[in-house]
Amino acid sequence: MLYLLVVLFLATTLPAQVASRSAQVETARKEKSLHLAPDETSRLERALLAIKERKLVERFTAGIAGFRLKLGGLVSGSGFALGPEYLRRDLADGGVILRGSARASLKRYQLFDLELGLPKLAGEKAFVDLYAVHQNYPRIDYYGPGPDSSKTGRSNFRLEDTAYDFTAGVKPVRRLRLGGLAGYLDVNVGPGADRRFVSAERIFAPAGTPGIDQQADFWRGGVFAQYDWRDNPGGPRQGGNYLVRYTRYSDRQFAQNSFGRLDLEVQQYFPFFNERRVIALRGKTALTYTADGQRVPFYLQPTLGGSEDLRGFRPFRFYDDNLMVLNAEYRWESFSGLDMVLFSDAGKVFPRRAPWTLKDLEGAVGFGFRFNIRNDVFMRIDVGFSHEGYQVWVKFSNVF
């Protein structure tokens, strides 16, 4: 009886015998066909797919009916900022760009701007841009004039200005832009809102800090030329970018703050090891020119320090009539979405053009992370060190 039970058990529980390989395959298929179900994806995958298919990220960044949320974009030190932006790139089949925004930061910095661009005139050989902006920055740092200003002399002031600029230019050949600018600038400086530090007008006099007592309105106009042969401006690995710009500021109120400003900038990228390593160099200078009896107001002076130039120093650490900055970065790829950086910054401000030398430069060194998507840097973290301490910068744009 036991034997019989064993036989019955085996006959009923073990798989049916097959006589051929084909039958074996068929048996497996038949077995599966009894349990078929829709081939569904997981909830998470469906969600990720929906995000892509419905272009939710694009819609979020592009907005609805042209309206979207704009993050950042204010001056260094303003803190986290956001606000609505209206952007239309689709007007006249892409021939017209209309943009306007209103942004404010946690530190109550404000920026309102409006731009109308015609980037594809004359078969994309010419461009025109109209730009109006109002800025209200309540606590811009000021440490006093010149390269010898003291870190402990930190004060702050409110900078409020309104500018209207018209830019037009041509692109005679690929990569070359030539153009001119004309505009109007209305500036107001007031007491700083940062109560931790003294307001600038209380400790700095007009003799050393021209314009601190009264501010002028300016006509400004100039010309520029740019030759840009970087392989990818969003995250260059080779090529160069050269810019020369001259702007003339005419004081239309007091006739004592007119000046000319020459900006020169050279960026050069030297790749090696198949562009997995890059030496990136930048040199830039701003030189101002004044006639007798004229002075450059401090709020229009070149400044040094911050996330864009001398990264081991606080923003706006140095003010003066002239500026020189040298940056060198060694960039290496950690993985496809991250480049690492070691950098060295040097620069100085100086009152006259005579010391346009490499002497007496302030220095900073540091390291950084460049996060990128398809080689476009979308975020960087830089940590800079100098004799004045260290600074950590989190920015959503590349430095150069």
Partner 1 sequence: MGEVLQRILTGATLALLLPWPLGAQKFYPDDPVWKEPKPRAVAEVLGRKLSDYYDFFWHTFATPGERHTTREPIRARSVNTLGEVPDGAWYANRHGRTRMSVEELVRGPGISHAPDVSGPWKVVGAKTEGVTPGFTIEDARGARYLLKVDPAEHPEMATAADVVGAKFFYALGYHVPENYVVTFERRQLRVDPTSVLTDPLGKKRKMNERDVDEVLLNVPRDSHKRYRAVASLMLKGWLGPFRFHGVRADDPNDVIPHEHRRDLRGLFVFCAWLGHNDIKSLNNLDTLVEEDGVRYIKHHLIDFGAALGSDSFTAKSPRAGNQYLFEFRRSIIQILTLGLYVPRWAKARYPHLPAVGRFESEVFEPERWKPNYPNPAFRNRLPDDNFWAAKQVMAFSDEEIRALVATGEYSDPRAVDWITKCLIVRRDKIGKAYLARVLPLDRFEVRNNRLEFEDLAVKHKFVPPRQYQVQWSRFDNLTGRKTPLAGRTLLEIPPELEPATAGEYFCAELRAADPHKTVTVYLRRGERGTQVVGIDRTW
Instruction: Report the residue count for the chain.
Output: 400
Which residue, 123 or 293, has its beta carbon nearer to partner 1?
Answer: 123
Of 173 and 255, nearer to partner 1 (C-beta) is 173
Nearest alpha carbon to residue 294 among 330, 329, 254, 334: 254
Between 216 and 280, CB nearer to partner 1: 280
Under the rule (CB under 8 A), what is the footprint of partner 1?
A: 3-4, 6-7, 10-11, 14-15, 17-26, 28-30, 32-33, 36-42, 44-46, 48-49, 51-56, 58-59, 62, 93-94, 273-277, 330, 332-338, 340, 342
- Minimum distance from CB of 365 to partner 1 (Å)? 13
Which stretches does DSSP call E strand in the chain? 67-71, 81-91, 96-105, 110-120, 126-142, 155-170, 176-191, 198-199, 217-228, 239-251, 259-272, 277-289, 303-304, 318-319, 322-335, 338-350, 362-373, 376-386, 389-395
Residue type, 291: A
Question: Min. distance of Cβ 28 from partner 1 in angstroms?
Answer: 4
Nearer residue to partner 1 within complex by CB, 7 or 358: 7
Closest Cα partner for 378 from 394, 392, 362? 394
User: CB of 33: closest distance to partner 1 in angstroms?
Assistant: 4
Other Cβ atoms less than 10 A from the Cβ of 43: the count is: 8
Cβ closer to partner 1: 51 or 198? Answer: 51
Contact present, 322 and 286 (Cβ < 8 Å): yes
Please state the closest distance from residue 48 (CB atom) to partner 1, in A: 4
- Whose Cβ is closer to partner 1: residue 58's or residue 148's? 58
Q: Least CB distance from residue 326 to partner 1, whole Å? A: 21
Task: Provide, rounded to whole angstroms, the least separation between the CB of residue 330 and partner 1.
Answer: 7
Chain center to CA of 209: 29
What's the CA gap between 328 and 278, in Å, rounded? 10
